Amino acid sequence: MKIKVLFVPFFAILHVVMAIINFSRSNGTACTLRGESAYPQLSKDGDIIVGGIFPFHSSWEITDFSYLVTPPPLKCKSLDFRAFQYSQSLIFAVEEINNSSSLLPGVSLGYKIYDTCGSTAVGVRMAMALMNGNDNTVLDEPCTKPAQVQAIIGESYSSVSMAVTKTIGPFSIPLISHYSTCECLSDKRKYPSFLRTIPSDYHQSRALAEMVRHFGWTWVGAIRRDDDYGNSGMAAFTEVAEGLGICLEYSLPFFKTYSQEKVLTIIEQIRSSTSRVIVGFLAHWDLEILLDIFIEHNITGYQWVGTEGWISDSVLATVDKHKILQGAIGLAIPKTNVNGLKEFILDVYPLKTAGDKPSEMENTFIDMSLLPILSNVYKGVYAIAHTLHGLLGCKQTCSTKKQPHPLTFLEHLKRVQFKTKMGEEVYFDINGDPAARYDIINWQTSKDQQHKFVSVGLYDSTFPAHSRLVVNMASIVWAQNTNHVPTSVCSERCPPGTRKAVQKGRPVCCYDCIPCAEGEISNITDSVQCEQCYQDYWSNPHRDECVKKQIEYLSYEEKMGILLTFFSIIGALMTTITAIIFFRYKNTPIVKANNSELSFLLLFSLTLCFLCSLTFIGRPSEWSCMLRHTAFGITFVLCISCVLGKTIVVLMAFRATLPGSNVMKWFGPPQQRLSVLAFTLIQVLICVLWLTISPPFPFRNLKHYKEKIILECHLGSTIGFWAVLGYIGFLALLCFVLAFLARKLPDNFNEAKLITFSMLIFCAVWITFIPAYVSSPGKFTVAVEIFAILASSFGLLFCIFLPKCYIIILKPEKNNKKQLMGKVPIK
Ligand SMILES: *[C@@H]1O[C@H](CO)[C@@H](O)[C@H](O)[C@H]1NC(C)=O
Ligand SMILES: *[C@@H]1O[C@H](CO)[C@@H](O)[C@H](O)[C@H]1NC(C)=O
Ligand SMILES: *[C@@H]1O[C@H](CO)[C@@H](O)[C@H](O)[C@H]1NC(C)=O
Ligand SMILES: *[C@@H]1O[C@H](CO)[C@@H](O)[C@H](O)[C@H]1NC(C)=O
Ligand SMILES: *[C@@H]1O[C@H](CO)[C@@H](O)[C@H](O)[C@H]1NC(C)=O
Ligand SMILES: *[C@@H]1O[C@H](CO)[C@@H](O)[C@H](O)[C@H]1NC(C)=O
């Protein structure tokens, strides 16, 4: 729809309208209204009269009531041409019915139309006038006549409609409103005779809230008309909006009679707000006043959301005001065309007769943007006619012209159902309301700075909840002429990985985004809480996904595993080579002197020590766990018993050199073998006990680290473990003490010194190993353990065998008996 708005040639029109609106004075006494008697602005006689009350004026002069004298009648001001259009629509419908041969044939309808001034007081007076009549010639008769009108069409303002309905309700005179949308009027216990052809705000409030939600605005401000329309509509909107998670930053009342001071507070509150969307539950008159103030204070850039009360009103769309409302979006009564109505109204257009071209002079007077409301008036009149048609027994002709009883009429009116000329179905539901259907209107500016009301969607309350609102987002132009939906939120949305935390003392829409704790995630935007990951899962760094926990153990694939394997094999190889060298030179004095049998056993056990470190690498299994500690325990004991044997031999050998000694007999090779076997058997026994009572087993350690699972060997019995370790320690200590005692004894190869030194290394390595072992588990602990095994094995190998190999291979000349014995001091 394209509407050109030019400056209204105000006084020309005023002249014409004043002729129509004529307050006549009268001083009747008996069956007339007290005080001023009221004459209709427009009237025509007929068999049955249809009343009409419209706000030809929208305001009045405020006078101070002194309460000492009778208040003077209200002085109406601010002519509203729309009311004139409403009345023309009523007249058009009446004439059409009068002309029709099928509807109410032979019965003529008349009308009486009054001005309510938009005031409750005036409205009630005019309703009384409509019922009682204003003819002051019947002075002596009491007021016993039936009501003068069958039904009343009108009143725009909800508050006035409420007052009027309460007044005429007891007499069962129906009021059919074309524009009073207050939800409160649906209450049929309070307003039994109220019907309307415009949907109730019950639906409009919901539709508005759903629309606001649809566009993602959760932080909005609101201005409402401070009367029943605005207050009740906004209350319903607030309730629904809260349910949809929308928060109102402010909700301000406004009324045309508000003082300057009060208005300034409103302006201040809007100016200091952070929301970018204003929901206006207002009538066009309020907004006209408000917009002037907004322009004065330069309040622009807000996204307006409007009700049917102003959204399709082109009077607001004058260029300067349009700047503020540009992009506004709201609900409007769907356009319906009433054939001939527009022409009928334009025909009365006064300036046409003056010879001017009406096309050049389009203005509010001939503006048809409120055609849907005009059609509501039209439907109301037809509802009355159809009800009468049935009640008067009309077929070819009507059987009576007598006005039906009001109660009967009202009952039938509530149940009337018919189709208009244009095929639109008209009926009233149980609350006296029509079905709710709205167009969604968007204010857009065309290239030539004109504005258009573009229909961008619709809302139909008769559809299921999820499909009621249909919006074509692409066709909307938003405030400040942008193509993207403006944002109006108190807090930005919380991304995945965080959760909402409401700020204390503020609306629920204002919140902080708190990152999820470790092990918790949120994988949706605006999550209210973080969810704990399952046992084997852990949160990723972004906290938006649970990932499987990393499983940790020392494997053959990784660098550390390969390195340790390498060293253990090198160690085993070196031991084997040493053994080969010893075997090759087994008849040389140096090998013989050093108790070759024990040396070979020691080399064998050292090979096993090197190899047993391999059982610590790789994924722990039932077998590897059992093998690990027992193999380690037994091979080490075997190893140390050999060393111990050697130490004892050194000690004995010295004693043997003393005269009269026969010690060697006590510790010959059979005894040596036996002692090694005995020492080892004790360890084997400990291990067997451990394995049978409570063997080590593979274990998934979930507790120690939150973000990874440690695959380890559970010791089964800690006592078993410490017994094995303790026994090794005991033997090593014993060995060390004996070797220490023997260190000064004359021995060419300082066997005892070497053993002392090797045991020192051994003990040092294992003492450092123990703290590492009892600390947190993981693959590094295992690595330390392997390192300790390798280090102590290498220590033994190097200390005991390296010097001998050196002499055997590089200094063969020293390898003879003389050299060996030569340095032995003889005392
Ligand atoms: C108003 O109506 C009275 C009688 O009802 C009439 O005498 C008077 O001329 C009218 N005034 C105008 C301005 O039409
Ligand atoms: C007002 O009433 C007085 C006496 O009751 C009468 O003389 C006078 O003509 C009336 N005026 C009008 C305008 O009806
Ligand atoms: C209705 O029609 C009759 C003649 O058919 C005419 O006298 C009367 O003025 C008409 N009433 C209206 C309101 O047009
Ligand atoms: C009613 O009929 C009269 C005369 O036939 C005509 O002038 C008038 O325009 C008709 N009114 C409507 C609303 O059709
Ligand atoms: C109104 O505000 C706009 C920016 O919002 C600014 O550019 C303009 O100058 C202001 N006008 C007045 C009269 O303050
Ligand atoms: C979010 O996580 C839940 C389980 O916590 C899962 O069922 C859902 O599919 C996830 N949603 C998305 C979008 O990843």
Higher pLDDT, 665 or 249: 249
Q: Is the dihedral of CA 393, 396, 401, 403 positive or negative?
A: positive
Categorize the per-residue pLDDT at 29 as very low, low, confident or very high, splitting at 50, 70 and 90. Answer: very low
Q: pLDDT-derived band of residue 142, with 50, 70 and 90 as boundaries?
A: low
pLDDT band with cut points at 50, 70 and 90 for residue 819: low
Strands of 550-552's sheet, edge to edge? Answer: 550-552, 708-714, 697-701
Ligand nearest the Cα atom of residue 338: 4
Q: Is residue 747's pLDDT more than 70?
A: no
**C-alpha dihedral, 583 to 585 to 589 to 594, nearest 10°:** -30
Distance 298 CA to ligand 5 centre (A): 6
CA proximity to 749, closest of 595, 627, 640: 595
Which of the four pLDDT bands, split at 50, 70 and 90, describes residue 37?
A: low
Cβ 24 under 6 angstroms from ligand 2: no
Query: If you take atom 2 of ligand 6, which residue's CA is the nearest one?
Result: 523
Ligand 6 atom, smallest distance to 521 CA: 5
Using one digit for the tens of pLDDT, what is the confidence trace for 593-643? 767 788 899 999 999 999 999 998 999 899 888 998 899 899 999 999 988
Q: Which residues contact 759 (CB under 8 A, 6 or more apart)?
A: 643, 732, 735, 736, 739
When mean pLDDT is compared across 25-29, 444-448, 647-651, the lowest value belongs to 25-29
State the DSSP string of 328-366: -EEEEPPP---TTHHHHHHHH-HHHHTT--GGGG--TTT
How far does residue 26's CA lie from ligand 1's centre (Å)? Answer: 12
Please identify, by atom number, the ligand 4 atom nearest to the C-alpha of residue 99: 1
Cβ 37 vs Cβ 72: under 8 Å: no
Nearest to 310 by CA among 223, 409, 393, 384: 223
How confident is the model over 281-320, as pLDDT tens digits?
A: 998 888 888 888 898 898 888 999 999 989 988 878 776 7
Nearest CA to 245 out of 515, 578, 419, 491 is that of 491
296 in contact with ligand 5, CB cutoff 6 A: no
pLDDT value of residue 21: 42
Q: Give pLDDT, residue 18.
A: 41
**Token duo for residue 764:** 């040092």
Q: What is the mean pLDDT of the chain?
A: 84
467: Cβ contacts below 8 Å, ≥ 6 apart:
none
pLDDT band at 112 (very low <50, low <70, confident <90, very high): very high
* Shortest-distance Cα residue to atom 5 of ligand 6: 531
Tell me the C-alpha distance between 351 and 361, whole Å.
Answer: 9
Residue 767 predicted with pLDDT over 70: yes
φ and ψ of 548, to 5 deg? -65, 140
Q: Which of 267, 298, 326, when mutated, tests ligand 5's pocket best, judged by the most ligand atoms within 8 Å of its CB?
A: 298
- pTM strictly above 0.85: no
Q: Parallel, antiparallel, or unpaired for β 708-714 and 437-445?
A: unpaired
Segment holding 42, helix H or strand E: strand 42-44
- For residue 377, what pLDDT is reported? 95
Q: Does residue 19's CB lie within 6 angstroms of at least one atom of ligand 1?
A: yes
Band (515; pLDDT cuts 50, 70, 90): very high
Please say whether the beta carbons of 553 and 712 come within 8 A: yes
The verdict on the CB of residue 523 being under 6 Å from ligand 6 is yes
Residue 645 contacts residue 672 (beta carbons within 8 Å) = yes
DSSP state letter for 586: T
Domain spanning 200-332+436-490: CATH 3.50.50.60: no
Centroid of ligand 5 to alpha carbon of 321 (angstroms):
15
User: Which numbered ligand comes closest to the C-alpha of 527?
Assistant: 6
263-277, 322-336, 576-590: which is most confident: 263-277
Q: Which two tokens stand for residue 701?
A: 């350690």
Query: Closest Cα to atom 7, ligand 3: which residue?
Result: 108
- Res 359: pLDDT: 42
Residue 610: predicted pLDDT: 93
Ligand 1 center to 139 CA (angstroms) = 22
Check if 531 has its Cβ closer than 6 Å to any atom of ligand 6: yes
Cα(545) to centroid of ligand 6, in Å?
8
Angle of the 260-271 helix axis to the 284-296 helix axis, nearest 10: 70
User: Which ligand gives the minimal distance to the CA of 109?
Assistant: 3
109 pLDDT above the threshold of 80:
yes
Distance 17 CA to ligand 3 centre (A): 23
Going by pLDDT thresholds of 50, 70 and 90, the confidence category of residue 40 is confident
Atom of ligand 3 at shortest range from CA of 91: 13
Alpha-carbon Rg for the chain, nearest whole angstrom, is 53
Instruction: Specify the 3-state DSSP secondary structure of 658.
Output: coil
**Domain locations in the chain as residue ranges:** 1-199+343-434, 200-332+436-490, 498-548, 559-821
Q: Kindly list the distances between the CA atom of residue 806 and the CA atoms of 750, 758, 812, in Å, as whole numbers in the listed order.
A: 14, 17, 9
Q: Is the beta carbon of 337 within 6 A of some atom in ligand 2?
A: no
Q: Which residue has the higher pLDDT, 668 or 786?
A: 786
Q: What residue's CA is closest to ligand 5, atom 10?
A: 298
Q: How far apart are CA 578 and CA 584, in angstroms?
A: 10
Judge: domain 559-821, CATH 3.10.20.740.
no
In the three-class reduction of DSSP (H, G, I as helix; E, B as strand; rest coil), residue 544 is classed as coil
Which tokens in the block code for residue 398? 């009507």
d(CA 41, CA 638): 126
Q: Which residues contact 192 (CB under 8 A, 6 or more apart)?
A: 169, 172, 410
Q: Is 298 in the pocket of ligand 5 (CB under 6 A)?
A: yes
CATH, domain range 1-199+343-434: 3.40.50.2300
Q: Give the ligand at the shortest distance from the Cα of 99.
A: 4
Query: pLDDT value at position 821?
Result: 54
Q: How many A from CA of 410 to the centre of ligand 3? A: 25
Tell the residue nearest (CA) to atom 12 of ligand 6.
523
* 449 close to ligand 2 (CB < 6 Angstrom): no
Q: In terms of pLDDT, which residue wins out, 594 or 429?
A: 429
Residue 136 Cα to ligand 2 middle (Å) = 10
Which of 22, 37, 42, 135 to mutate for ligand 1's pocket (most ligand atoms within 8 Å of CB)? 22
- Nearest CA-CA partner of 203 in 468, 528, 592, 534: 468
Tell me the residue type at 398: C
Choice among 164-173, 213-222, 276-285, 810-819 with the minimum mean pLDDT? 810-819
Q: What pLDDT does residue 33 have?
A: 52
Fold equal for 1-199+343-434 and 559-821: no
The token duo for 730 is 């005991």
Distance between CA atoms of residues 763 and 736, nearest Å: 9
Cβ-contact 150, 48 below 8 angstroms:
yes
Q: From the CB of 26, is ligand 2 less than 6 Å away?
A: yes
Which residue from 58, 92, 565 is spatially nearest to 346, judged by alpha carbons? Answer: 92
Q: Which atom of ligand 1 is nearest to the CA of 22?
A: 1
**Which DSSP symbol is given to 801?**
I
3-class state of residue 551 by DSSP: strand
Residue 625: how many CA atoms within 13 Å on its side-chain side? 21
- Ligand 3 binding pocket includes 362 (Cβ within 6 Å): no
Contact indicator for 322, 443 with CB cutoff of 8 Å: yes
**What's the gap in Å between 21 CA and the centre of ligand 1?**
9
- From 92, 95, 338, mutation site for ligand 4 pocket: most ligand atoms within 8 A of C-beta: 95
Instruction: Give the DSSP letter of residue 799.
Output: I
Q: Which ligand is nearest the CA of 110, by number?
A: 3
> Is residue 27 lining ligand 2, measured as CB closer than 6 Å?
yes
How far is CA 332 from its chain centroid? Answer: 30
| Cα–Cα nearest to 431, from 235, 236, 239, 201 | 201
Q: How far is CA 153 from CA 330, 370, 711, in A?
A: 26, 17, 86
**pLDDT of 12 strictly over 50:** no
Give the range among 199-213, 343-357, 413-427, 508-522 with minimum mean pLDDT.
Answer: 343-357
The Cα–Cα gap between 535 and 708 comes to 11
Residue 467 has pLDDT above 70, yes or no: yes
| 524 CA: nearest ligand 6 atom | 13
> 753: helix, coil or strand?
helix
List beta partners, residue 457.
440, 471
Q: How far apart (Å, rounded) are the C-alpha atoms in residues 289 and 280? A: 13
Identify residue 393 by its one-letter amino acid code: G
Which pLDDT belongs to residue 166?
A: 93
Place of tokens 């040493």: 578
**CA nearest to 571, candidates 542, 595, 603:** 603
Q: Look at residue 429 in the predicted model and tell me its pLDDT.
A: 93
The strand ranges marked E within 527-675 are 531-532, 537-539, 546-548, 550-552
Q: Which of ligand 6's atoms lies nearest the C-alpha of 531?
A: 5
- Please work out whether the CB of residue 532 comes within 6 Å of at least one atom of ligand 6: no
Burial of 226 (0-12, 13-18, 19+ CB in 10 A): buried
User: Taking Cα atoms as reference points, which of 542, 606, 540 lies closest to residue 570?
Assistant: 606
Sign of CA dihedral 400, 406, 411, 415: positive
Q: Of ligand 3's atoms, which has the minimum distance to the CA of residue 110?
A: 13
Phi-psi region for residue 184, left (φ > 0), alpha (ψ -120 to 50) or beta?
Answer: alpha
pLDDT confidence of residue 662: 63
Dihedral-angle region of residue 172 (phi above 0 means left; psi in -120 to 50 means alpha; beta otherwise)? left
If you take atom 10 of ligand 1, which residue's CA is the nearest one? 22
796-814 pLDDT per residue, tens:
899 888 888 888 888 888 7
Ligand 1 atom having least distance to the Cα of 23: 1
Q: How far is the CA of 25 from the centre of ligand 1 (A)?
A: 10
Question: Percent of the chain at pLDDT above 70?
Answer: 88
Strands 151-154 and 175-177: parallel
Listed residue (322, 332, 316, 350) closest to 207, CA to CA? 332
**Going by CA atoms, what residue is nearest to atom 3 of ligand 5?**
298
